[in-house]
Structure 1
Amino acid sequence: MTTALICHPEFLGHIPPPGHPERVARYDAVLGALHDMDLLQVRAPLAAEEDILRVHPRSYVDDLKRFAPEGGWRAIDSDTYLSAGSLAAAWRAVGAATRGVDMVLAGEAANAFALTRPPGHHAEAETAMGFCLFGTVAAAAKYALEHHGLERVAILDFDVHHGNGTQALVEDDPRILFCSSHEWPLWPGTGAATDTGPHGTVVNMTLPTGTDGAGLIAAWERDAFPRIAAHKPQLILVSAGFDAHRDDPLAGLRLETEDFATLTGRICDLADHLCSGRVVSALEGGYDLDALAAGAAAHVRTLEERGR
């Protein structure tokens, strides 16, 4: 089998103001870095509304529709914006992740990477924040459980910022194990190591500024991988942020490009053992274009090599 690359030109239609870190060029940088890989490229569909409503109330979705501008952009908060094409992009981001779930569970692909914008792991049930509008990976997890009838899934988030939105959207569901490694202290200020969720299905790994790849991977080996093995997920979902790279301007971890390949390989090891290699990954952060492109390429190349 092969690795599915799920993307769509409408991801270019989410256009924040000039100078915003989550810029359109991020999509092109990653797509260009993947062009020479043997991937099954698939156009991301629009998500079904019910897939979004599993994690967001209709009132929130309706509010975003009313607030969306016909041109230019509108600020939801100090760093989260809606442009005319933002909702279509966010809708397709959820569609890309759920399409990845469909393909991997049906055996159409060994694993999948959803090249999406805007990111999703900061969006809470009724709050857009941190560049995020919809909880993309949380929605995919609920879709795997409710639409496909899985009993257990795991979400692994290695973005440099805590996935506060994802945790908020899934922590009440004991079928979902959520593991996040993140710089501490750092915005959004959530994700303390003592926060394990109401069912003990949350693993937060706090990393001091300056932590390198070896330190991050050691935290996953010590704190997360045994919990994932015990949870026995039938599918592993990944929030793949590349802003833990040493060159990223928004944070202070010190990962090198090869560290993303190493961590991805260990995730694939677990997936091979637990769930027939089933991994669906979606892009989150990463704001230095070169570091983002290199990190995403290392991640996807590892998925591709392991999915053969």
Structure 2
Amino acid sequence: MDQPQVFGAFVRRYGATFRTSAYIKWGTSRQSLGSVLILNPGSADFEKMNPRLGAKLKQMGAAMGKIQPDPTMDQLIRLVNQIYEGHPAGKLQIYNLFNLQSTYSAQAINNFEQLACTGKITPNESLATPDELQSHPWILIGWGLHRKNDWKNLQKAKKLWMEKIKTAGIPVFGKQNDKGDYYHPAPLLKAKRDWILSELTNQFNTEIKPLIPYEKLIQRRYTLLKWNGKSGAEAHYIVKDNNDGTQSLIADGREPVWFHLDLAGDPAVADWRSDQGNNFDNIRQLAPRPSQSKE
């Protein structure tokens, strides 16, 4: 299985770095695998992955591109791999209650509160619209258990986000405490990361998975779209590569050619059998002939 890539967009404001967008991507598919709402951006930046972009951020005040994943992202990668049974294909969008980047949560909240109280930023800066949230099959909430009475702007940001999520009407999950806050998906203590991963996976499987269509959960490499109903050398198939959305006609003795076209929708195959529930990872499982491999 290919390793996912992480992308982020950053700006410099008031002497601090804000990560305005971030996502983790498996393969080339643009389909949303889900989303997550956590406290604030952690340590992931350009420095190790792309120093040129790091320099651009310092010089120009803005940059976007591939970044090195931080421990939270590594944990989210583990979670998505478990949810999609090791075969994710698409994007996990990462949202934050506020976009101020900092490794230390309490310090980040204090800085956020100070900037918000002076009017430099607002608690609704990071909000996604209901329409955007509806593009995701689910959202995981894991903003942590930090709470103080004088963190008014943080509480307002939580309230605003929950209102948007409720309006969007998408499935929500996360491990809550008795005060209504949500455990972070990547606890500081490594010994607890397996525990929360198990808790979230079990919760997803019991509460969220039944609400999501099967084809959005099982992200195998290929999907069989059409079959002419014949066997052996006479069998012809139309297959979709779920990594990039291309389709190909698979037939005996032919090297597959992949097109960004809806081959399955062509009138010439209108009477072929539809087999859209048949997903697989190796094209040889469909037609085990050496000339028909795409790996």
- TM-score w.r.t. the length of structure 2 is 0.30
Is the helix fraction higher in 1 or 2? 1
**TM-score, length of structure 1 as denominator length:** 0.29
Name the one with the larger strand percent.
Answer: 2
For the pair shown, the structure with the greater C-alpha radius of gyration is: 2
Higher relative contact order (CA 8 A, sep 6+): 1
